[in-house]
Each structure stands twice: as structure tokens, then as C-alpha cells.
Amino acid sequence: MDLGQLVRLYANHALWRTTRLPAAGRGLVRALNSTDVTVRELAGMFLVQGDGRSLPLLLDAVRKRENLPLVLTILADIGDMRLEPLFREFSTDEEAPVAQAARQGLETVRLRAHAPEATP
């Protein structure tokens, strides 16, 4: 585990969560490229927790094709049905991991759209 990367990740998360500083949010997206699986997973969780605030950052990563399979998975976990066309577009991507992540993302957002609301 890379302690330096974890410290940067938590600092970026704290800054992004409290100030919405775009550079800190981009730091979370960059962390998705880490060789440390813990850093990648935490960055993904922080981005999912950001819900709609994460969308511009993640859509920019999609546009640049950065960590595309992982970014598509995170977008699916956010579960915004407006992203269905994006998943459909990438579901036939020439890169098999990208296409697979897009197909799984499409299935995830469709299931969430048809799932009954949880009641307390």
C-alpha cells in the first residue's frame, strides 16, 4: 500500500467534498490510474459518493478515454439513467474491456430504473 498516494487521495477527497475544487476532483479521477488497488477502490468509492458532482469529472475522463472500463463502472454505480445512451454507445467499443464494462453499466442502470424504491 502506497501511504503517500493514500494521503493525497484523502486530501483531494476532503478538499473536493468541502470546497468542490475541480483540481481536487480531478485528483480523485487520476487516482483511478494508481497501481495500488486500495487507492483505486477508494477513489472510485469517493466518486460514487459524489453522485451528480462527479459526473462532469467522469464524463471528461470518458471523453479522454482515461481508465475507461473503470470509469464506466463508476458511472454505472452512480446509476443515472441519463447515461444510458453513453453506455449503449460504448457497448460496441473495439476494446473488449470497454465494451464489457459498458454492457454491464447499461444493465446496472436499467435494473436500478426498474427496482422498487427502498422503504424504511
- pLDDT digit string (tens) for 45-85? 999 998 789 999 999 999 999 999 999 999 999 988 999 99
- φ and ψ at residue 32, rounded to 5 degrees: -65, -15
Higher pLDDT, 118 or 19: 19
Provide the whole-model pTM: 0.89
Phi-psi region of 79 (alpha: psi -120 to 50; beta: other; left: phi over 0): left
- What are the structural domain ranges in the chain? 1-49, 55-120
